[in-house]
């Protein structure tokens, strides 16, 4: 690496991953590989049924197909790198590859935040204004909504990645993480990162705070509307149409709050344990949540279960 003014021209970064815990690496390699295969199979099957079954050609399932595709993209941007790090201690990743991985993971995360908000709005209109639903959520509306989610996520990812990659980096450039996670990369910068911090704060408000408030208010009105339904069967049927989405929202945001909201340990021994816990929590967020999404929607949604049964039945008969 060439040096200039005390900083280094970065060729690549070294990912520590779980190199300090070799026994865990072998176990997690198998677990993550199996989980990744389930993610590809589950989300791929969900995309397939939403395309092939005419009964699922509705806004809710269009958003669900986007969510499944997003989960495949998100995990594919990081899981192969994680698996490789388990096999290669202190893996080195080139600077451009690190920037691309950072962009993809940030873009997919931001897009999912917006997309979950769009899905909450869809459920709000369906339950609170059912007669206006075909008009409010027409194809001319829900397709641009999905496109804007992807555009917003990609835009903020471009900004955050560009700001991070323009920083000078010093030292060994060792990232104490599985992937090029943006906060872990910023710790290596040997320059003022106040602009990055402010930019990240603004992005968090827009892509975390605003969607959470939007989802909360949407479900507040949804619950009020459901409670006004006179029959218990009607209330149960209405709630069943949004229970899967609500479960996914709780898992998604709950994991984020757990990762970034818990206090940091000041004890060195406790810090080491917390560091391992942070990595494993990040791993859970990166692979388990995308795996759970298609399972939740297939188990808690009669239309999806019926569509999957029909797809399997047709496949069997064609053979």
pLDDT tens figures, 88-140: 766 788 888 889 999 999 999 999 999 999 999 999 999 999 999 999 999 99
- CA atoms lying within 13 Å on the CB side of residue 13: 32
Q: What is the pLDDT of residue 6?
A: 40
Lowest mean pLDDT among 94-108, 146-160, 217-231, 271-285: 271-285
Q: What is the pLDDT of residue 17?
A: 74
Average pLDDT over residues 218-229: 93
pLDDT at 8 > cutoff 60 = no
pLDDT at 177 > cutoff 90 = no
Do 146 and 134 contact (CB within 8 A), yes or no?
no
Can you tell me the distance from the alpha carbon of 168 to that of 238, in angstroms, rounded to the nearest whole number? 54
To which H or E segment does residue 311 belong? helix 302-318
Name the more confident of 212 and 10: 212
Q: What is the pLDDT of residue 277?
A: 72
**1 falls in which pLDDT band (50, 70, 90)?**
very low
Torsion of Cα atoms, 68 then 70 then 71 then 77, to 10°: 150
Average pLDDT over residues 35-62: 91
pLDDT at 255 > cutoff 90 = no
Q: What is the CATH number of domain 19-261+275-309?
A: 1.20.1070.10
Report the first-to-last Cα separation within the chain, whole angstroms: 59
CA angle at 49 for the pair 44 and 52, rounded to the nearest 5°:
120
pLDDT tens figures, 133-171: 999 999 999 999 999 999 999 999 999 999 998 888 877
């Amino acid at each position: 690496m060439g040096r200039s003014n005390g900083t280094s021209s970065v060729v690549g970064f070294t990912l520590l991953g779980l190199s300090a815990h070799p026994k865990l690496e072998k176990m997690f390699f198998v677990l993550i590989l199996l989980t990744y295969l389930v993610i590809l199979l589950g989300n791929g099957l969900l995309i397939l049924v939403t395309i092939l079954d005419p009964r699922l050609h509705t806004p809710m399932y269009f958003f669900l197909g986007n969510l499944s595709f997003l989960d495949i993209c998100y995990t594919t941007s990081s899981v192969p790198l994680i698996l490789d790090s388990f096999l290669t201690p202190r893996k080195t990743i080139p600077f451009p590859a690190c920037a691309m991985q950072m962009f993809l993971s940030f873009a997919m995360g931001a897009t999912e935040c917006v997309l979950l908000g769009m899905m909450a709005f869809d459920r709000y209109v369906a339950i609170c204004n059912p007669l206006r639903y075909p008009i409010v959520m027409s194809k001319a509306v829900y397709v641009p909504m999905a496109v804007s989610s992807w555009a917003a996520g990609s835009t903020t990812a471009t900004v955050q990645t560009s700001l991070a990659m323009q920083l000078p980096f010093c030292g060994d450039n060792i990232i104490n993480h599985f992937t090029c996670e943006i906060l872990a990369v910023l710790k290596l910068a040997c320059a003022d990162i106040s602009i990055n911090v402010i930019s990240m704060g603004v992005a968090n408000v827009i892509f975390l705070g605003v969607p959470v408030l939007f989802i909360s208010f949407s479900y507040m009105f949804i619950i009020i509307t459901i409670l006004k339904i006179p029959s218990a069967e009607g209330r149960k049927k209405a709630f069943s149409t949004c229970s899967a989405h609500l479960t996914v929202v709780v898992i998604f945001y709950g994991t984020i709050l757990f990762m970034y909201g818990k206090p940091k340990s000041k004890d060195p021994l406790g810090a080491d344990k917390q560091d391992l816990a942070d990595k494993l929590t990040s791993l859970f967020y990166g692979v388990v949540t995308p795996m759970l999404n298609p399972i939740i929607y297939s188990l808690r949604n009669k239309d999806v279960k019926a569509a999957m049964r029909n797809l399997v039945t047709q496949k069997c008969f064609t053979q």
